[in-house]
Structure 1
Amino acid sequence: MSISLKENRHETLTAAQKETLEELRETSVPRYLFRGWHYGSGGGPKETINSTEEIIPHGSMNDREGHDFYELQESELKSMLECHYDGKTDIPSEISSWAASLMMIIFFAKRQQNLGYKGVHIALIDTHQLANDVLVWHAPHLNQEFEGCIHEYFAHGPIRGPGYKAVPYDLLEERGVDDKDSLHSIAELFELFEMPVATALACARPRPWCYVNMPARLDAASRKALEREAVYLNIHYPQPADAHTAHWLLRGSVLTGPTPDQDFPDVRQWIDLLRVMAKKVHEREVKATMRGKKRKEMEDEEDWRPARRRKTRAK
């Protein structure tokens, strides 16, 4: 599902288009997305800001105030999105690009470092903690012409605040990703976002649950491996309280491929892992609630019995 933008329509999006985009934004965008940048990204600090504090796209720089996404005409949206994707500067972009695959971003950061760029960082956003006017979509949802671009997500508006974190790539490289100890060591660099980073790194290589769609005989073992990993990671990293209700964790909600040109099995594994982690936390919370109710019932019963005995003796 996506919308089709017309270059000759000089009106804002229709109500039906807005409804479609809002549904896609709420149900088909991962909560956590990643980005690689360096000090010269987007033309450098005179053109755009990429820092540990904020990401400011071209369209919000140099006294430009930017726009409300839904105030832009359809033709303006189409032109801006296409210029942004093609890396052109004809139209100041109000968009920053992100990805669901942490491994793709790590490879990108390493390449930028090898090319000699300074200040290479890896950034993360929690799309649930961004300012209300920052809207994020999967690129294919915004225009049918982007159907093959499943690697890219577009965030409209300046990024800053508690939903954003950036870490120098050098620090990640120093700690390595060879084992679970280094995985935790890297994840802690992202502070409040340890959990999404640790789980994404855990899915950097093929895991047994990558094959859960195979015949049932093999499926059971794969599911057990997935549940073991979920239990282990839940011990170290608490899940957000609403995670078990998140629609994006449902299989098939987020487009990960395969397409003729792209496939992101690491993202599929990551979403599967987060879904089972959330399920385990929810099950534990339900059991704790039930135990609490049972304990309260027993306490009420104990409170009642002595009172009844005392009343009998008084007679």
Structure 2
Amino acid sequence: MLEVSNIEPITGVRRAYFEDLRKNNVPQFLFRTWSSKSGGGPEHATNSVKEIIPHGFMERASGSGFYEKAESELYKMVAMHFSNDNSPWFSSEFSSWTGSLHLALYYARSIDEQHDPHVAVIDTRQLDEEVLVWHVPHLYYEGGLHEYMAHGPIRGIGYKAVSYKALMSSGLANVFPELGQDDISKFGFNLRNQMFNGPPNPFPEDEMENSDEIKQIRKIADLYDHLSLPVATGLICLRPRPWIRSQPEGRAALEQAAKLFAGAELPSDFERGNWLREGVVLTESHMDSMTFPDVRQ
């Protein structure tokens, strides 16, 4: 994690360590829910279907500059962003993301519709500018499993946002009826644990392709155009499936589901990177009770 006592920029072996974390232990695809009040509102940050510009990048040239800053400065910025500090003098250069579409959708549900919530997806390797992304436990706090921090403006073919209203109109409530349940957390932590403590949800045998659920998932995911595949994957994994168990029938069910989306458009540089290996991306922590079985699945 970052050290508050280091007043010099991160260099050498330590920089290589942080680069390895972001390149090999962060999902290629991440989700974010934003609204008209995100980042303090449009006067402080931009959140739109075209781009996301954090407060700290609103009035200066593009370019990361992450490793040009003193490590102590980075530590303070991460800490204040994570704690949602609204001090008038604070200007964050990060936007917040999650590996869990389950979390993003439940958070969108918690936002008043007058603020026009949107659910976005990014392919971290297909953005117009280099954006550096870390999991919060890499930088600051081991219990921050729910959040990834992206440093830099988000724009380009690797970004797509769709309004929550459009998702609901396309049948989201049919795919995720649990959105109607109340949870003490706006991120749906209790709901997720409850859902994944139950038995796996199989698709109808020999009728998966024509099942109503798959049809609805396709319809919703298609709203994300060329980024439909990660969204479809997230929608399928909103609840436990047979392949979450390491059994032959579970593997067969996974292969069957994968074939349904075999024709979906893949990003040009898609690869089965280190982040797809079991256990590489953190999904649970001894620090608290938060867990992300949907991401693990």
TM-score tier, shorter chain, comes to: 0.7 to 0.9
Deviations 1:102-148 (A, max 9, x none): 111000001003xx5422101111001124431111111113xx111
Deviations 1:81-119 (A, max 9, x none): 001011114421000000010111000001003xx5422
- Alpha-carbon distance in structure 2 between the residues aligned to 1:94 and 1:172: 29
Please tell me whether residue 29 in structure 1 is matched to residue 26 in structure 2.
Answer: yes
- Alpha-carbon distance in structure 2 between the residues aligned to 1:65 and 1:240: 24
Deviations 1:205-238 (A, max 9, x none): 11011122xxxxxx1121111121112221x424
The equivalent of 1:226 in structure 2 is: 254
Q: Which runs of 5+ in 2 are unaligned?
A: 175-212
Q: Secondary structure at the match of 1:47?
A: coil
- Alpha-carbon distance in structure 1 between the residues aligned to 2:92 and 2:63: 9
Give the Å deviation of 1:240. Answer: 4.0
Give the Å deviation of 1:239. Answer: 3.6
Change (3 A) 1:52 1:238: closer
TM-score, structure 2 as length reference: 0.81
Do the aligned residues in 2 keep the contact of 1:68 with 1:133 (CA within 8 Å)?
A: no
Do the aligned residues in 1 keep the contact of 2:226 with 2:266 (CA within 8 Å)?
A: no
The equivalent of 2:194 in structure 1 is: none
Do the aligned residues in 2 keep the contact of 1:256 with 1:265 (CA within 8 Å)?
A: yes
- Alpha-carbon distance in structure 2 between the residues aligned to 1:242 and 1:134: 16
- The code of the aligned residue for 1:159 comes to I
Of 129, 150, 169, the match for 1:174 = 169
Higher relative contact order (CA 8 A, sep 6+): 2
Q: Which runs of 5+ in 1 are unaligned?
A: 213-218, 270-315
Do the aligned residues in 1 keep the contact of 2:108 with 2:117 (CA within 8 Å)?
A: yes
Please tell me whether residue 148 in structure 1 is matched to residue 175 in structure 2.
Answer: no
- Alpha-carbon distance in structure 1 between the residues aligned to 2:3 and 2:137: 15
Please tell me whether residue 200 in structure 1 is matched to residue 234 in structure 2.
Answer: yes
Do the aligned residues in 2 keep the contact of 1:28 with 1:253 (CA within 8 Å)?
A: yes
Change (3 A) 1:148 1:258: closer
Please tell me whether residue 86 in structure 1 is matched to residue 83 in structure 2.
Answer: yes
Please tell me whether residue 76 in structure 1 is matched to residue 61 in structure 2.
Answer: no
Single out whichever of 134-143 and 240-249 deviates more from structure 2: 240-249
The equivalent of 2:160 in structure 1 is: 165
Q: Secondary structure at the match of 2:282?
A: coil
Q: Secondary structure at the match of 2:111?
A: helix
Single out whichever of 51-60 and 219-228 deviates more from structure 2: 219-228
Q: Secondary structure at the match of 2:240?
A: coil
Change (3 A) 1:112 1:246: same
- The code of the aligned residue for 1:34 comes to F
The equivalent of 1:102 in structure 2 is: 101
- The code of the aligned residue for 2:222 comes to E
Do the aligned residues in 1 keep the contact of 2:63 with 2:129 (CA within 8 Å)?
A: no
Give the Å deviation of 1:65. Answer: 6.4
- Report % sequence identity: 44
Please tell me whether residue 58 in structure 1 is matched to residue 59 in structure 2.
Answer: no
The equivalent of 1:237 in structure 2 is: 264
Q: Which has the larger radius of gyration?
A: 1
- Alpha-carbon distance in structure 1 between the residues aligned to 2:252 and 2:61: 53
- Alpha-carbon distance in structure 2 between the residues aligned to 1:112 and 1:241: 35
Do the aligned residues in 2 keep the contact of 1:96 with 1:156 (CA within 8 Å)?
A: yes
Give the Å deviation of 1:8. Answer: 2.7
The equivalent of 2:224 in structure 1 is: 190
- Alpha-carbon distance in structure 2 between the residues aligned to 1:221 and 1:103: 25
Give the Å deviation of 1:64. Answer: 7.6
Give the Å deviation of 1:167. Answer: 0.6
Number of aligned residue pairs: 255
Please tell me whether residue 253 in structure 1 is matched to residue 280 in structure 2.
Answer: yes
Q: Secondary structure at the match of 1:245?
A: coil
The equivalent of 2:200 in structure 1 is: none
Do the aligned residues in 2 keep the contact of 1:258 with 1:264 (CA within 8 Å)?
A: no
Do the aligned residues in 1 keep the contact of 2:36 with 2:42 (CA within 8 Å)?
A: yes
- Alpha-carbon distance in structure 1 between the residues aligned to 2:242 and 2:285: 19
- Alpha-carbon distance in structure 2 between the residues aligned to 1:196 and 1:24: 21
- Alpha-carbon distance in structure 2 between the residues aligned to 1:173 and 1:156: 30
- Alpha-carbon distance in structure 2 between the residues aligned to 1:140 and 1:89: 22
